[in-house]
């Protein structure tokens, strides 16, 4: 039965690629409808089981990190294209299984967003769950941060072997009470704490910041020297390891601690964990670099206020000659752009502008972004709604050899990725190489819209 499901998934995937459409959730959609027991049946045979990575920010990079670490010992199945819902997991499984229906893997590491993770654990019980944070994000989907925390609680409660929680996020640590599996933690050293504000701390005064005793940490970020790549010291179990992380920014240093703490629950040594972390390349849209007309372009995803803030803080390390901020308001970007007003642009961008960066806003809501900046007393040099035109304008404005940083919301990032492959070339591999995978799995907005109307992107509580 599983063989049939795999054949079906593979056939659809192949057909889609022949048609030039790469909707990477469609095969999963079809298989899920026809073979509802497929996923638990196949994944249930994995010797090391399934681990789910969830939370508001950092899922993709942390999943990549955890996959890289576990790959030091195991054969890893992961949904590394950022397709973080149930059908994406099925599609990844279909693509990695051979035509005889056998999955050459020992462990599955799945990034799942909060709502889809709840659906996933109804079908597949994970052995392990890693929860990163709860921040306001796309609130027009869930309505409230507390709802998001509740969703994650449901996911963590489904694990039976290990749950790893972020000790520095009170909404995450509160989940420990409802979890039956053994809980371990990751966190950052007290003197780094100020660099990792919780959602409350971003908006409230420091006096309101929660204080409490911290649990013992499986992995702790001790020191970070940030740049495009970061030098970090990570205490992993009893050992301190120095690691040059190729994923930049404070948040990724913290994510590395999360991946490390989860890897420890498999019995991996600190040295093995460190080796895996050193091997990680930036995930899709998280600092990927391209060359375009002899300039360098770095693409960063921005999804919510906390993530935007973190990304802005890494900007000065790049010394960019130009910055492009691309804001779409499609479903996956968040239809409501008022979240931009929860990001403080004035200081981080003033620094960048003081270095004479040229600034352009793009995407559907380019004008809203420029307006936001105006109220933070940052002047936008140009507004260009069309993404391709905007990127080319920024590239051609700066001298050869200089860098453009592009900050982009989700659907704009997918579109930009296709555009950048057309007008330029990636400097590093765009995707983690995986068996029988096309490197190019960019979904255009049109395809995303098609997936949405197919119901592949439906959320719990959606009203049509």
Partner 1 sequence: MTPLTLVHLYPAEMNIYGDTGNVLVLRRRLQWRGLGVDVVPVAVGDPIPAHADVILGGGGQDAAQGDIGLDFASRGAQLRAMADDGVVMLAICGSYQLLGREFLTKDGVRIAGTAVLDVTTTGSDTRLIGNHLVDTDFGRLAGYENHSGLTELGPGVSPLGKTVIGRGNNGKDGREGAMRDNVFGTYLHGPVLAKSPLFADELLRRAYARRGDGVELEPLDDALAHRAAAVAAGRPR
Q: Does 144 bind partner 1 (CB under 8 A)?
A: yes
Q: Does 347 bind partner 1 (CB under 8 A)?
A: no
200 Cβ neighbours under 8 A, 6+ residues apart? 170, 208, 209, 210
Tell me the C-alpha distance between 296 and 285, whole Å: 15
Among 220, 241, 329, 432, binds partner 1 (CB under 8 A): 329
Q: Does 341 bind partner 1 (CB under 8 A)?
A: yes
CB of 399 to partner 1, least distance (A): 29
Q: Does 208 bind partner 1 (CB under 8 A)?
A: yes
What are the two backbone dihedrals, phi and then psi, of residue 322, each rounded to the nearest 5 degrees? -150, 150
CB of 335 to partner 1, least distance (A): 7
Q: CA angle, 398 as apex, 392 and 402 as ends, to 5°?
A: 105
Q: Using CB under 8 A as the criterion, what x/- string covers residues 145-174 for binding partner 1?
A: xx----------------------------
Tell me the C-alpha distance between 67 and 109, whole Å: 6
Part in contact with partner 1 (CB under 8 A); list of ranges 22-30, 103-111, 203-211, 429-437: 203-211
CB of 42 to partner 1, least distance (A): 37
Q: Does 436 bind partner 1 (CB under 8 A)?
A: no
CB of 178 to partner 1, least distance (A): 18
Closest CA to 326 of 308, 347, 346, 306: 308
CB of 346 to partner 1, least distance (A): 10
3-state SS, residue 166 = strand
458 Cβ neighbours under 8 A, 6+ residues apart? 452
Among 342, 381, 438, 454, binds partner 1 (CB under 8 A): 342
Q: Does 425 bind partner 1 (CB under 8 A)?
A: no
Part in contact with partner 1 (CB under 8 A); list of ranges 33-41, 273-281, 364-372, 398-406: 364-372
Q: Does 371 bind partner 1 (CB under 8 A)?
A: yes
Tell me the C-alpha distance between 6 and 16, whole Å: 15
Closest CA to 347 of 313, 322, 307, 317: 313
Token pair 């899709």 in the structure block, residue: 284
4, two tokens? 């049939």
Contact 405, 290 (CB under 8 A): no
Determine how β-strand 286-292 pairs with β-strand 295-301: antiparallel
Q: Does 365 bind partner 1 (CB under 8 A)?
A: yes
Comparison of 239 and 453: residue with beta carbon closer to partner 1: 453
352, two tokens? 């960048």
Q: What is the DSSP string of 90-131?
A: HHHHHHHB-TTS-B--SEEEEE--HHHHHHHHHHS--SEEEE
Q: Does 446 bind partner 1 (CB under 8 A)?
A: no
Contact 394, 324 (CB under 8 A): yes
Q: Does 396 bind partner 1 (CB under 8 A)?
A: no
Q: Does 339 bind partner 1 (CB under 8 A)?
A: yes
Q: Does 271 bind partner 1 (CB under 8 A)?
A: no
CB of 366 to partner 1, least distance (A): 8
Q: Does 136 bind partner 1 (CB under 8 A)?
A: yes
93, two tokens? 């499984």
Contact 95, 9 (CB under 8 A): yes
Among 180, 242, 338, 453, binds partner 1 (CB under 8 A): 338
Contact 457, 332 (CB under 8 A): yes
Rg (alpha carbons) of the chain, rounded to whole number: 21
Among 33, 45, 102, 335, binds partner 1 (CB under 8 A): 335
Among 17, 375, 427, 446, binds partner 1 (CB under 8 A): 375
Q: Does 16 bind partner 1 (CB under 8 A)?
A: no
Q: Does 368 bind partner 1 (CB under 8 A)?
A: yes
Q: Does 140 bind partner 1 (CB under 8 A)?
A: yes
Which positions touch partner 1 (CB under 8 A)? 136, 139-140, 143-146, 200, 203-205, 208, 329, 335-342, 364-365, 367-368, 370-372, 374-377, 383, 461, 463
């Amino acid at each position: 039965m599983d063989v049939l499901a795999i054949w079906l998934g593979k056939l659809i995937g192949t057909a889609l690629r022949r048609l030039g459409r790469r909707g990477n959730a469609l095969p999963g959609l079809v298989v899920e409808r026809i073979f509802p027991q497929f996923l638990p049946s196949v994944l249930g045979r994995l010797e090391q089981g399934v681990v789910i990575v969830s939370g508001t920010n950092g899922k993709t990079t942390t999943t990549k990190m955890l996959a890289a670490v576990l790959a030091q010992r195991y054969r890893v199945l992961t949904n590394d294209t950022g397709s973080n819902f149930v059908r994406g997991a099925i599609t990844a499984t279909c693509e990695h299984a051979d035509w005889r229906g056998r999955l050459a893997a020992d462990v599955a590491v799945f990034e799942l967003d909060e709502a889809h993770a709840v659906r996933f654990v109804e079908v597949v019980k994970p052995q392990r769950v890693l929860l990163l944070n709860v921040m306001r994000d796309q609130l027009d989907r869930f309505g409230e941060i507390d709802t998001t925390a509740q969703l994650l609680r449901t996911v963590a409660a489904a694990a039976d072997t290990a749950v790893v929680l972020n000790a520095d996020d009170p909404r995450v640590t509160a989940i420990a009470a409802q979890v039956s599996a053994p809980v371990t933690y990751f966190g950052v050293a007290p003197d780094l704490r100020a660099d990792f504000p919780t959602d409350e701390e971003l908006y409230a005064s420091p006096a309101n910041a929660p204080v409490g005793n911290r649990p013992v940490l499986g992995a702790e970020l001790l020191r970070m020297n940030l740049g495009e790549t970061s030098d970090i010291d990570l205490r992993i179990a009893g050992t301190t390891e120095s690691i040059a992380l190729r994923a930049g920014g404070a948040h990724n240093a913290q994510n590395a601690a999360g991946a490390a703490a989860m890897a420890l629950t498999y019995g991996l040594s600190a040295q093995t964990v460190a080796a895996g972390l050193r091997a990680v390349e930036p995930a899709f849209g998280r600092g990927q670099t391209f060359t375009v007309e002899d300039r360098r372009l770095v693409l960063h995803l921005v999804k919510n206020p906390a993530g935007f803030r973190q990304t802005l803080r890494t900007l000065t390390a790049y010394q960019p000659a130009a910055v492009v901020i691309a804001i779409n308001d499609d479903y996956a970007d968040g239809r409501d752009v008022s979240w931009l007003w929860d990001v403080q642009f004035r200081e981080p961008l003033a620094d960048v502008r003081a270095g004479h960066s040229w600034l352009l806003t793009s995407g559907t809501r380019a004008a809203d972004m420029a307006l936001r900046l105006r109220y933070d007393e940052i002047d936008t040099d140009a507004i260009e709604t069309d993404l391709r035109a905007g990127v080319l304008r920024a590239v051609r404005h700066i001298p050869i050899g200089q860098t453009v940083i592009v900050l982009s919301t989700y659907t704009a990032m997918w579109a930009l990725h296709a555009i950048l492959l057309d007008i330029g070339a990636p400097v590093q591999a765009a995707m983690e190489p995986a068996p029988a995978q096309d490197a190019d799995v960019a979904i255009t907005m049109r395809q995303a819209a098609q997936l949405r109307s197919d119901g592949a992107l439906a959320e719990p509580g959606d009203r049509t």
